[in-house]
Structure 1
Amino acid sequence: MSKLQTEKCVDYLKHNPYAFFFRSLRDVPDFHDYKIVLKTISTQDQRVYNKPHVSQVAVIWVESQENEEYGPRDIEVQMHSDQSKSIKYFYGCYDPLHGYSIVSTSAKLIAPGSIANAESLLQMEKVLGKNAESSRLLQQYIVDNFVKLETQRLDFHRPQQEEIRQEFHQGIVDAMASGETEGSAVGKRIVLPANFIGGPRNMRQKYVDAMALVQKFGKPDIFLTVTCNPNWPEIKQNLSVHEEAQNRTDWIVRVFHAKLEQLKHEVFKNHIFGDVAASTYVIEFQKRGLPHAHFLIILKPNFKMYTTEEYDRIVYAEIPDKSVNPHLYRMVVKHMLHGPCGLLNPSNVCMKKSCL
């Protein structure tokens, strides 16, 4: 940060009421030191649960009623009268007390995902996003707000367990399906309905919906993948000097969403592949920091492809002629070619750990 930016932050925090709270922590005895050890389980999919490949901010979120050792994510403020005040995650002053003093919100309730919450995020982006050194804090703020949003969704379903079918409420069917053998664990589960995004029933329902499309319209004709490119001009133009795209997940997601909507317009409105009978797609992030989408497209009978000539109309597995289409040639050479590797380039990524 430059000297001018530092002076602005110091002047801002000098008049920030939440900054006084943090300065008062110097009177609190030293906190205990903790150590976190992450152990991998060999039976899990290591492509999902392996170590991150890029430098990112992550969160370990433990929330369970089965183990009361992990309490709610409230902030306990110790008053001068030796009484404590619990600050809930949906209070407006939660974020400033959580360490984001730059966010100037009031003490009123702010629902995660609301307009007021989005305004706080934009405020953080404006102050922190232009500094490479503080972009990590912006990442942490985004991750924390995701946890708050997911916690709010879970809190909505907790008191509604009585409305779910009795056998699912007791957890017996779920326990049998998951192979639960510990009797004490049966009957203590919080059941997530199908409208909880990302839950087991929600994913199962989406899978069944996709298979219903195949049953009605036939197998997919096109498997299309689009991946976010951190070198897109719309992303690079909004990065400050020495700032990496992985630190600006806000810009990455916005640009990718706009590109994805444009692609959907070309496929479903302009019919670049022909008339579409049905389609489904999924957006994945994994741990690369860059989103990508997979499309399954089913064409109408008059536009289905059966011969090699018909496939050649949309699939081009050759390097374009540089003189005829120079732009497409540059794109293919830059993004679609692998190598050189082997003796010509032993340091290439495919040569690590004797992959070849």
Structure 2
Amino acid sequence: MCCNGGKVSLPQVNAPQELLNIFLDPSAEGNHFRKHIRGYNHVFSFTSCGVHIDEQLASANHDIYTFRAQGSMYHSIGGFYPDQGTRPRFLQLYIYDTDQELQNRTLENTQLHESLVLKLQQLLHRYNPFIHVVHQLAQRLDVQECSLVIRERPANQPQYSLPTALQVAAIIVGDDIETIVRGRDIKVQTHTGNLRRIQEFVGYYDPLQYPLLFPFGTHGWDINTRTQRGNKVSCRTYYSYMLQIHPNDHSTVLQAGRLFQQYVVDNYVKMETGKLRWVRQRQKELRAELYQGLQDALHTEENNAENVSRRTILPSSFMGSHREMTQRYEDGMAIVLKEGKPDIFLIMTCNPSWSEIASELSPTQTPQDRPDLTTRIFRAKFEQLKQDVITKGVLGKVKSYIYVTEFQKRGLPHVHMLLILENNDELSDLDQYDSLVRAKIPCKETKPHLHEAVLRHMIHGPCGTLNQSSPCMKNGQCKCNYSKEFIPETRRGDDSYPQYRRRFDAPIPFNQNVTIDNRWVVPYNSWLLLKYNCHINVEICSNIKSIKYLYKYCYKGPDRVAMEVHRSSHYDKVQ
């Protein structure tokens, strides 16, 4: 995944040691910088970022920070001078009223420390080639007659060489023929009525928006990006390589925390935009004419002819398209029709305290600062879980299974999986239920490790009267119906799951103010819980209602990332 099987080798993106010291500063000022790093980057950006952000998740006061963008994401650049009555912003801060540059930057965000803004400003003025050119422009007496041409990286420039001021931009006076705009260069003028859109497939897209991540003005991916061997590199391959952990890494990218989240989302949108452009330009190869546009419109009860126009067809190979989601859902329904209803419903959630994650974090980082790391470790753990459950059959011999990967609002990946067992291993006896799934707090003296794991990962809430502000509370009640009732023996329930044995035991302390008992335990399998040390909810599907989870998670899930459908060897292709 990281280097395309050894075919991709790109130079590392470095940063000056003074800047790395700020990123890794363990003091109170360093903590402030990491908490407001997006604000610090914002006041030094050359371009504005147009995006609708979920402010509830991106709030600085939120316990778990998650950057989630909704809709399109784009960068824009304006003229040299602000409009009448407005203060300078972005590129204008480097040109307009340079004597008050520091004060103008602090006005952008009053939460930023002026001393830290000054330190970053001095560092970028020393190293960034884009700033060198802009400062030359600001000192010209004929600046009103000048334009700034931001250069795209030439195709023959070595990938490993840092850009210089002469390469990244040029100053045009009047109609200077020698520095005429060509190709994907962009011309910035003194006054412009509208903002100019920066195309996402140009190399200066990243350094203009993220000067703290690319202090040397290092170009990002463009269509001319090649490996050191001269091979062309796709956008996805480039950023897969960039986001890996490299030895002797002196980059600020993986140390940027909240700004790193924005950078990842921004470039994911860039990749998706490239895929959509590819689909739009290759409708003939996709044989889009076979989709009957007029009949499709009539089937959707569209009677206004003005709304029926030329459409771009997203094929089922495009992840997240309507056809792809419908295909996955219909495959899942066909498997249930062929193999029978699911027998086990399993949920696995990433544990940010896994040693594989904690060992890779720097002293100033938390798991939320490295979503790339948590996702990779979770994928490796889940592949191991599939090996245990599917191949080794620790829950029974599996003939078909379906799963979907999602991300919680707190940013942790988790999987919903449905398992269909072989006929000889189907669970029909209540004693089999008890041997596979438990809903009790183990004895601390006889099973200390299992006792600790259950208290850490498998306790719901508490909610209700114990905690009205719990996320599971809806209209004054727990939407998961906790706490459960005490039940002396397991019995079949009326809904999708059995009612597991929850005997009355003495309550034990959960935290300083709350005591809990078996009513708050989420059903689990002891072997899986001890091995993977994370939240693994195992439920037995005793009713056909469990098929509704296919529809909910595999077709209607808003945060759905991927779904895999696996058939048994004797399964025939569904028409």
- 2:400 counterpart SS class: strand
**Residue 111 of structure 1 pairs with residue 234 of structure 2:** yes
Shift of 1:201: 0.3
Residues in 1 aligned to 2:394 and 2:365: alpha-carbon distance in whole angstroms = 37
Q: Is the 8 A contact 1:75 1:88 kept in 2?
A: no
Residues in 2 aligned to 1:275 and 1:36: alpha-carbon distance in whole angstroms = 48
Residues in 1 aligned to 2:65 and 2:251: alpha-carbon distance in whole angstroms = 22
Residues in 1 aligned to 2:245 and 2:440: alpha-carbon distance in whole angstroms = 48
Aligned in 2, Cα 1:144/1:160: closer, same or farther, shift over 3 Å?
A: same
**Structure 1-normalised TM-score?**
0.74
**Structure 2-normalised TM-score?**
0.48
Residues in 1 aligned to 2:49 and 2:433: alpha-carbon distance in whole angstroms = 59
Q: Is the 8 A contact 2:199 2:205 kept in 1?
A: yes
Shift of 1:151: 1.2
Shift of 1:248: 1.0
Residues in 2 aligned to 1:342 and 1:282: alpha-carbon distance in whole angstroms = 30
Q: How does 1:259-338 map to 2 (within 5 A)?
A: 259-338=381-460
1:101 corresponds to which of 183, 206, 214: 214
Shift of 1:97: 3.7
Aligned in 2, Cα 1:344/1:95: closer, same or farther, shift over 3 Å?
A: closer
Q: Between Structure 1 and Structure 2, how many residues are aligned?
A: 315
**For residue 298 of structure 1, what is the amino acid of its counterpart?**
I
Q: Is the 8 A contact 1:167 1:173 kept in 2?
A: no
Shift of 1:169: 6.1
Residues in 2 aligned to 1:304 and 1:334: alpha-carbon distance in whole angstroms = 31
**For residue 171 of structure 2, what is the amino acid of its counterpart?**
H
1:127 corresponds to which of 248, 251, 276: 251
**Residue 5 of structure 1 pairs with residue 127 of structure 2:** no
Residues in 2 aligned to 1:7 and 1:313: alpha-carbon distance in whole angstroms = 53
Q: Is the 8 A contact 2:357 2:367 kept in 1?
A: yes
Give the fraction of aligned pairs with identical amino acids, expressed as a percent.
Answer: 37
Aligned to 2:274: 152
Shift of 1:310: 1.2
Residues in 2 aligned to 1:175 and 1:286: alpha-carbon distance in whole angstroms = 36
Aligned in 2, Cα 1:8/1:93: closer, same or farther, shift over 3 Å?
A: farther
Per-residue CA deviation, residues 31-72 of structure 1 (Å, 9 max, x unaligned), is: 9x999888xxxxxxxxxx995374222334438xxxxxxxx8
Q: CA RMSD in A?
A: 3.9
2:287 corresponds to which of 152, 157, 164: 164
Shift of 1:183: 3.1
Higher strand share: 2
Q: How does 1:68-83 map to 2 (within 5 A)?
A: 77-78=149-150, 80-81=171-172
Residues in 2 aligned to 1:90 and 1:123: alpha-carbon distance in whole angstroms = 25
Q: How does 1:56-75 map to 2 (within 5 A)?
A: 56-62=66-72
2:325 corresponds to which of 199, 203, 209: 203
1:141 corresponds to which of 253, 258, 263: 263
Residues in 1 aligned to 2:281 and 2:321: alpha-carbon distance in whole angstroms = 17
Residues in 1 aligned to 2:319 and 2:205: alpha-carbon distance in whole angstroms = 25
- 1:189 counterpart SS class: coil
Higher helix share: 1
Residues in 2 aligned to 1:236 and 1:219: alpha-carbon distance in whole angstroms = 40
- 1:6 counterpart SS class: helix
Q: Is the 8 A contact 2:350 2:412 kept in 1?
A: yes
Shift of 1:173: 4.3
Greater RCO (Cα-Cα under 8 Å, separation 6 or more) = 2
Structure 2: 5+ residue stretches without partners:
1-15, 23-42, 79-148, 151-169, 187-197, 226-232, 479-575
Residues in 2 aligned to 1:122 and 1:211: alpha-carbon distance in whole angstroms = 38
Aligned in 2, Cα 1:150/1:248: closer, same or farther, shift over 3 Å?
A: same
